[in-house]
Amino acid sequence: HVKKIVKATLVSAAFVALATPATAQTLRGASMFDDNHTFTKTMVKFGDLVEQYYKGDVEFDLRLNGEFGVEKDYVTFLNQGVAIDYTILAPSNMARFAPSIPLMDMPFLFRDLDHWNTVLSSNVMAPLEQELSDKADIVIVGYAGGGTRNLISSKKISNMDELAGHKMRVMGAPIQAQVFNAIGAAPSAISYNEVYNAIQTGVVSGLENEAASIQNLKFYEVAPHITKTAHTITVRPIVFSGKSFRKLPADLQTAIMKAGKEAGAYGRELESREDAIKLKQMADAGQIKVSEFANREKLLVMVKPVQDKFAASIGATELLEAIRNK
Ligand code: MAV
């Protein structure tokens, strides 16, 4: 008798599944931040634009506040085609899958915002996009970013002497550690969600980051000193899992590519414009103390051979020259 009931339940469940009209395609994204951060705003914009450009049904399920972990988790998910379909990633957090990609966010790559803008609106990064697609199965659909990264530390750093031996967290790409080594600091790769605690417990004395993220994650609570090394202007691709992307209808793929470009441009404008405003908000609120760095030009000289060596090691000497000459 019990068996019969189970069978009947299964049959009716199958019947319900068949009778239910096809539900909308759901695409899941992840952000490490709350809804005030530019990355989150950029991904919301991306979803809105896709909905606008695509005639069919599509829904976006964007998970915030690191619910799905941090970028080093996201990159694995995208590569495997599990858990999420899209996000925004620092190129240096994709190094494990595509060793050349961290060239995009190598410190001291861009002279200034104009240079950064010119490079990102050209297609000079195309070979790196190709490598990411081939090796990691991750598709770049647009470029966000535009924050300027500075040092943020528990004690004041304003010159080469104070920088010497400074223990700091860097992203997990070898080129990041090499650059900060070259300027005399003592870098170590620590997962982003462990950095706050690592500073609090004295494992490191700081990190390097941009205003939007410092403000959103309150790193200033443990590291209130900002040193304006302005070493990186961020390049933050909006990325899609190749495995998810290939399953989508062609017209949805087209809508995603168009929306990705536009959402990226929106994010770049927003983050680059808000960068100085956010630094000032934190300074005015007494959360940070800002110092200039006495020898910034010297840093450039120390870093150039490291950049050249990295580019040579990945066969990208010409590409690096092309970026520098833009
Ligand atoms: C900032 O939050 C962002 O640039 C993000 O993309 C990076 O992953 C993060 O810093 C980091 O330093 O890991």
In whole angstroms, give the CA distance from residue 187 to residue 296.
Answer: 18
Instruction: Print burial letters for 269-295: b (CB count within 10 Å at least 16), e (below 16).
Output: ebbbebbeebbeebeeeebbeebebeb
Q: What are the tokens at 26?
A: 């759901």
Q: Whose CA is nearest to atom 5 of ligand 1?
A: 90
Confidence (pTM): 0.93
**Beta-strand runs (E) in the chain:** 25-30, 58-63, 86-88, 138-153, 167-170, 186-189, 206-210, 225-241, 289-292
Q: Say if residue 148's pLDDT is above 90.
A: yes
Ligand 1 binding pocket includes 93 (Cβ within 6 Å): yes
Q: Is 32 helix (H, G, I), strand (E, B) or coil?
A: coil
Task: Please identify, by atom number, the ligand 1 atom nearest to the C-alpha of residue 149.
Answer: 4
Distance 22 CA to ligand 1 centre (A): 38
* CA 130–ligand 1 middle distance (angstroms): 23
**What pLDDT is attached to residue 24?**
77
3-state class (DSSP) for residue 143: strand
Q: Which residues, 6+ apart, have CB-to-CB distance to 12 below 8 Å?
A: none
Between the CA of 209 and the centroid of ligand 1 the distance, in Å, is: 7
The per-type count for the chain, helices as H runs and strands as E runs, is 13, 9
Rounded to the nearest angstrom, the distance between the alpha carbon of 70 and the centre of ligand 1 is 9
Beta bridge mates, 153 = 206, 225
CB atoms within 10 A of CB 72: 20
pLDDT recorded at residue 204: 98
Q: Which ligand 1 atom sits closest to the C-alpha of 90?
A: 6
* Residue 260 token pair: 């990705």
pLDDT per residue as tens digits for the range 295-317: 899 999 999 999 999 999 999 99
Strand pairing category for 58-63 and 225-241: unpaired
Structure tokens at 7: 């069978």
* Closest approach atom of ligand 1 to CA 147: 4
What's the gap in Å between 253 CA and the centre of ligand 1?
Answer: 27
| Dist. CA 109 → ligand 1 center (Å) | 17
Residues in CB range of 47: below 8 A, 6 or more apart: 27, 29, 60, 62
The secondary structure of 82-136, three-state, reads: CCCCEEECCHHHHCCCCCCHHHHHCCCCCCCHHHHHHHHCCCCCHHHHHHHHHHH
Average pLDDT for the chain:
94
For the Cβ of 275 lying below 6 angstroms from any atom of ligand 1, the answer is no
Summarize pLDDT for 59-99 with one digit per residue, the tens.
999 999 999 999 999 999 999 999 999 999 999 999 999 99
For residues 100 and 158, the answer to whether their CB atoms sit within 8 Å is no
Shortest-distance Cα residue to atom 6 of ligand 1: 90
Report residue 4: phi and psi, to 5°: -60, -45
pLDDT at 2 over 50: no
CB-ligand 1 contact for 209 (6 Å cutoff): yes
Residue 35's closest CA among 45, 26, 48, 49? Answer: 45
Rounded to the nearest 5°, which phi and psi values hold at 279? -60, -45
Amino acid at 218: K
Q: How many CB atoms lie within 10 A of CB 213?
A: 22
pLDDT of residue 42: 98
The rounded Å distance from CA 251 to ligand 1 centre is 32
Q: Which of 150, 213, 232 to mutate to test the pocket of ligand 1 (most atoms within 8 A of CB)?
A: 213
